[in-house]
Chains A and B, each alone.
Chain A
Amino acid sequence: MSQGTQPYVALDRVAKVYPSPRGDVEALSDIDLEMAPGAFVSVVGPSGCGKSTLMKCLAGLVPITSGKIDINGHKLDGPPDAMGIVFQRDVLLDWRTILDNVLLQAELLRLPRADYRERAMQLLARFGLEGFEDRHPWELSGGMRQRAAICRALLCDPELLLMDEPFGALDAMTRDDLNVELTRIWQGSNKTVLFITHSIVESVYLSDRVVMMSRGPGRIVEVIDIDLPRPRPLAIRETPAFGAYVHQIRHHFAELGILKE
């Protein structure tokens, strides 16, 4: 983590309250978080801890109740520029080919499609989808679909990439593959990534920094810097240093009564 530089993302005492007939629901409480430019930050926590709400607030899709979010030095007011987003469901449009699905991002941003065609083809090739450009989503496996969704998010070269449990619905092997591919794409790209997951192992493997959240209300309980060398082969997960981080996080959740040890 670089010290002294301005953080790319800064959350200052952010709270989010959803009003409901049976009383207000505090989804996020007192969230302080800084993300350095180009950092890979994971948020890990149990279901209902507000991690998805946190991402929607950061995406400018949901207004925050109090506090302040700065992105690249600007106060957040609606969806920020140069942001890509990936959800747990790939939300590809069935009536479009894979290439047209990726190019949707340019269309939505009102950028000329023709300028991004070449880049879309390159991205698809880098994610092993060469030759599938003209296929439709239903012809592809879940892993391939999610790869296409990541290509869509990366099309217009975002500075900030938000990922909400993107591999949560995939089988373990596909998930490993995509973890490797994602770090490969991210490394040296200077993209700031916020990655939401409920897998501790995944969060340690991918991240520079793991943010632990707890529920009722959703709050940050611990931030752990992951000081492991990069690039990280999958086998790094079997090293003692890796195991120690996983143990530390699991132990902490156990102390909070969220995980049984």
Chain B
Amino acid sequence: MSFWRKHLMGESRTRDVLLVLAALVAIWELGVWYYEPPKIFLPPPSAILAEFLTTPGLFIRHMGYTLWTTLLAFAVSVALGIALAVAIVYSRLLERTIYTLLVALNSVPKVALAPLFVIWLGTGMEPKIAVAVMLALFPIVIDTVLGLRSVDPDMVNLARAARASQLQILAKIRFPNALPSLFAGMKVAISFALVGAIVGEFVAGGNGLGFLVLVAQGQFDTTRVFVSLVLLGLMGTALFYAIDFAERLMLPWHVSQRGEGGSQHGG
């Protein structure tokens, strides 16, 4: 009894989520089996799995392409985003110009620019990275600027009283203080980078899960569309939790201060 209580009735967020997912898949499978909708509308989960297993290598290869595009774009966004945020915080001119512009541009539907990047950069990986960076850069810059600014003024006064340099204040106080915000931005950015990569693949090129979705849709092969979508979902979730894991590793002081053990925060 105590074993079951611990493992089936105790508190575990991951287990709860998995149970709900399993229930949904079961309902889906049973629903399709009972109502028999046309296969072109909704294939059952078992058919989706079977479809994946016919050509697993192909799916994995295209998934690798999308993953690689996403990761490259994410890396560029983080590096560029941090540099921009630091520049914005330290320069009144840049704050008034670039930051204001960035905040204004944030509301523009940037995916609409994807065709333009194809014209400029061709049909390789570059336009996809460009679209993904366009999306992922904003949350990183905005959150990092927020984090760099949200330092207790007396913390800076303490450093200034010791005649610390601006670089010391940045390295020892402002930047570490901004890390929790940076991670919050990165959790949003990783999902945005994936969206950007897919949109890029929709617009042009012959690689990636976005391309597979488009081709399968053209052939009315709904099952293959679903295989790609499931893989995309798994990839997005894995990427988000990878950042979450890195945060726990790098900012134990922040995570423990939040005073929670589960993953109750979403991007």
Contacts and interface: CB of A to CB of B under 8 A. Distances in A.
A59 B253 CA distance: 31
Q: From B160, B176, B179, name the one whose CB has the most chain A CB atoms within 10 angstroms.
A: B160
A60 interface: yes
Interface string B142-170: 00000000001011011111111000100
- Looking at chain A's contact residues, the main secondary structure is loop
B162 A109 contact: yes
A109 B168 CA distance: 10
Most buried by A among B159, B161, B179: B161
B13 interface: no
For the side of the interface on A, what is the size category?
A: 20 to 34
A169 interface: no
B162 A136 contact: no
Contacts of B14: none
A105 B177 CA distance: 17
- Chain B: interface secondary structure? helix
A53 to B, nearest CB: 13
B122 to A, nearest CB: 44
Contact of A93 (B154, B161, B164, B176): B176
Contact of B158 (A60, A85, A94, A136): A85
Contacts of A108: 158-159, 162-164, 168, 172
B251 interface: yes
B44 to A, nearest CB: 50
Given A93-B176, A108-B172, A138 B152 contact: no
A89 B152 contact: yes
Given A107-B172, A108-B168, A95 B160 contact: no
B157 A56 contact: yes
B256 A87 contact: no
A94 B162 contact: no
Contact of B256 (A56, A109, A138): A138
Contacts of A104: 172
Nearest to A62: B157
A136 B161 contact: no
Contact of A61 (B161, B176, B179): B161
A61 B172 CA distance: 19
A107 B179 CA distance: 21
Contacts of A138: 253, 256-257
A73 interface: no
Interface in A35-86: 56, 59-61, 78-79, 83, 85
Contacts of A89: 152, 154
A114 B157 CA distance: 25
A88 B158 CA distance: 12
Contacts of B75: none
B254 interface: yes
A78 B163 contact: yes
B48 interface: no
8 contacts: A79-B162, A88-B154, A91-B152, A91-B155, A91-B158, A93-B155, A93-B176, A109-B163
Given A56-B157, A94-B254, 9 more contacts: A61-B157, A79-B161, A83-B161, A85-B157, A85-B158, A91-B155, A95-B253, A109-B162, A136-B253
Interface of A: 56, 59-61, 78-79, 83, 85, 87-89, 91, 93-95, 104-105, 107-109, 136, 138
